Structure 1
Amino acid sequence: MLKITPHLGILVVIVSIAGLWFPLLGYFLLLVFATLMVTSYFRGRWFCGNLCPRGSFNDFWVGKISRNRKIPNILRSYWVRIPIFMLMMGFMGYRLLSTQGLINQIGMVFVIMCLVTTTIALVTGAGISPRTWCTFCPMGTVQNLIGGSKYQLKTDESKCINCNKCEKVCPMQLDVHTNNDKPDCIKCGRCITACPTKALAFKA
C-alpha cells in the first residue's frame, strides 16, 4: 500500500457527514469513479488497496472493532454482486434524473449514496470482517470485470514454504500462495511484506 493509504479514511467520513450540509462534497465521488476506472484497466483492483477512502476506513477504523470472522463465500458470487450493482446504479440513476440538473441536488445524490454504502461497510465490517463490503462493492465488481486479470500476484513455488503468513494478513481473505488468478486481489502488498522468503510478487 501507499504511505498515504492509512489516512484516506477521513475523506469518506467528511463526504458522508459534512456532505449533508455541503452537497458539493458529493462531487468528490466523480473523481473517485474516474480514477478507479482508469487504474482498473492497467492494474485491476489496485485502487481498492491503495487509494480507496472507504477501503482505508474499513481497514484502519472499522478494523479496530471488527469481529474478524470469515467472509461468507456467497458474497463473492456474481449472483449477488451483479444484482447489487444494478440495484444501486439504478437507484442512483433514478435519483439523478429527478434532480432536474440542479447542481446541489446532484451533489446530494452522491452524498446519500456515499452515506448508505459507508453505513453498510461499517455494519458488515464490524460484524464480520473489515473488507466484507469490498467483496460485493459495485465499484470493486466493475474493476474486477475490467482488469481482474491484470497485474496478478504470482508465487515462486521454489521459494514458498507454505507458512500461510500471506493468507493471514490478506484483508480480502484470498487463497494467496497459489498461482490461480485472483481478480479480487486489491494489490495492497501486505502478503508480499509478510512473506519470509520473498516468494510473492506482482506481475504485469
Structure 2
Amino acid sequence: MVCGGSCLTCPVAYSALSMVAIGIKRIYRKPMQKKRLVSQLIFLFITNAAFIFGATGLIYSYFYCWESPQATMSCPIGILEHAVLEASIFLAIYLVGTVAIIGTIFGRAPCGWACPIGFLQDVVGKIKISREIKRSKADERARYLKYAILAAIPFAVYHFATMAYTDICPIGGLTATLPILLFHYGGYTPTEFFLPKMILLALTIFLIVNVKRGWCRYLCPVGAMLAPFNKISVLQLTFDESQCLKCMNCARVCPMKINLPYDVKSMECIRCGMCVDECPTEALKLEFKWK
C-alpha cells in the first residue's frame, strides 16, 4: 500500500479517525442523537463540497471560514466584515435577513445540528478529554465574551480597514489556513497575521479539548448572532413540569450546562436534544411550535 502523504501523515490520520469513531460511538446512541449525527454529517459534506457545487454565494448558518478551498458558502462574519469594508447596504440586509429567517425558525439549533466545529467539539467531548465545567459566576460572565467579540468586529474592521477578525480567526486557521498549507502549499503566502492566527488556534484547540463546547460557550460570534432568537424561535425546547421526576438527568448531560429543566429558552441552548433523549417521562420535548 502506498501512502499519498508523508510517513507521519498516515499514523496521525489513523489516530484522528480512531478518536472520531470512539467519540461518535459514545455520543450518538440515543434516537435523537442518531438523527443529529446524520444531520451533522450531511452538513459537513455540504460545507466542504465546493468541488461539486462551487462557491454559491449563500451564507452558512454556522461558523466556517469562507476562505477554505472546500467552502461552498460564506461565513456570516465574513459577510459582516465585507458589509462594513464596502459600506454595502445590500450585504448588510442580506446578512440580517438570512440570520433573522434562520434564527426565527430554528433559534440556535444550527450550532447543534449543522456546524462542523460543533460536531468536532461533540466528538472530542466524548473521548474523556474535555472536562465538565460547572455553572459558576466566572463561567456565566465568560459566556458574554462572544457577544463582546461580535460587537467589536464591525468597529475593528472600520478602524483598521481590513478583515480584522478573519485575519486572526482561529477557526479560519483550522478550516482554511492549515488545509491550504497541507494540500495547496504553493497557493499560500504567509502574512504578518499568520503567527497570531496559529497562536489563537492553539489556544482554541486547548479550550475545546479541556472544556465541552468551549468554543460555543465563550467565543463563537455566530452563536452570539443566533442566541437571542432562542426566545422566539419556532423550534422550541418545551418542559412539562407535571411529568418531571426531578432526576436531573437533563442537567447532567447538557453540553452547554444551562439551567435545565427550567430555563428551556436559554440563549445558550443549542437545541441538541440530549436532554430530551435522557428524560424518562418525556417531560422535555424538542418541537416546532407554529402558534
Give the TM-score taking structure 2 as reference length. Answer: 0.52
Determine the C-alpha separation between the residues in 1 that align with 2:125 and 2:153: 23
Q: Which letter maps to 1:145?
A: P
Matched, 1:44 2:126: no
Question: Is the Cα–Cα contact under 8 Å of residues 229 and 267 in structure 2 kept in the other structure?
Answer: no
Deviation at 1:30, TM superposition (A): 3.2
Query: RMSD across aligned C-alpha pairs, in angstroms?
Result: 3.8
**What are the Cα deviations for residues 150-198 of structure 1, in whole angstroms up to 9, with x where unaligned?**
2332211111000011111111111121155322211111111111111
What corresponds to 1:56 in structure 2?
119
**What are the Cα deviations for residues 17-70 of structure 1, in whole angstroms up to 9, with x where unaligned?**
xx8xx8544564438987765421212101011001111111113542212332
What corresponds to 2:273 in structure 1?
189
Q: Secondary structure at the match of 1:68?
A: coil
Q: Secondary structure at the match of 2:238?
A: strand
What corresponds to 1:76 in structure 2?
143
Q: Secondary structure at the match of 2:243?
A: coil
Q: Which letter maps to 1:4?
A: V
Matched, 1:144 2:227: yes
Q: Alpha carbons of 1:118 and 1:174: their partners in 2 closer, same or farther (altered >3 Å)?
A: farther
Higher mean alpha-carbon deviation, 28-37 vs 49-58, is at 28-37
Determine the C-alpha separation between the residues in 1 that align with 2:267 and 2:172: 24
Q: Alpha carbons of 1:42 and 1:93: their partners in 2 closer, same or farther (altered >3 Å)?
A: farther
Q: Alpha carbons of 1:179 and 1:109: their partners in 2 closer, same or farther (altered >3 Å)?
A: closer
Larger radius of gyration: 2
What corresponds to 1:86 in structure 2?
151
Q: Secondary structure at the match of 1:178?
A: coil
Determine the C-alpha separation between the residues in 1 that align with 2:216 and 2:255: 10
Whose RCO is larger (CA < 8 A, sep 6+)?
1
Determine the C-alpha separation between the residues in 2 that align with 1:37 and 1:143: 8
Q: Alpha carbons of 1:59 and 1:111: their partners in 2 closer, same or farther (altered >3 Å)?
A: same
Determine the C-alpha separation between the residues in 2 that align with 1:24 and 1:134: 24
Determine the C-alpha separation between the residues in 2 that align with 1:57 and 1:139: 16
Determine the C-alpha separation between the residues in 2 that align with 1:112 and 1:158: 45
Determine the C-alpha separation between the residues in 2 that align with 1:118 and 1:9: 20
Q: Sequence identity, in percent? A: 23
Deviation at 1:121, TM superposition (A): 4.0
Question: Is the Cα–Cα contact under 8 Å of residues 166 and 176 in structure 1 kept in the other structure?
Answer: yes
Q: Secondary structure at the match of 2:286?
A: strand
What corresponds to 1:133 in structure 2?
215
Question: Is the Cα–Cα contact under 8 Å of residues 63 and 126 in structure 1 kept in the other structure?
Answer: no
What corresponds to 1:114 in structure 2?
172
Higher mean alpha-carbon deviation, 4-13 vs 38-47, is at 4-13
Question: Is the Cα–Cα contact under 8 Å of residues 156 and 200 in structure 1 kept in the other structure?
Answer: yes
Unaligned runs of 5+ in 1: 100-107
Deviation at 1:90, TM superposition (A): 4.7
Unaligned runs of 5+ in 2: 1-32, 50-64, 80-94, 174-196
Q: Alpha carbons of 1:189 and 1:132: their partners in 2 closer, same or farther (altered >3 Å)?
A: same
Q: Alpha carbons of 1:48 and 1:23: their partners in 2 closer, same or farther (altered >3 Å)?
A: closer
Q: Secondary structure at the match of 1:202?
A: strand
Deviation at 1:135, TM superposition (A): 1.8
Question: Is the Cα–Cα contact under 8 Å of residues 5 and 50 in structure 1 kept in the other structure?
Answer: yes
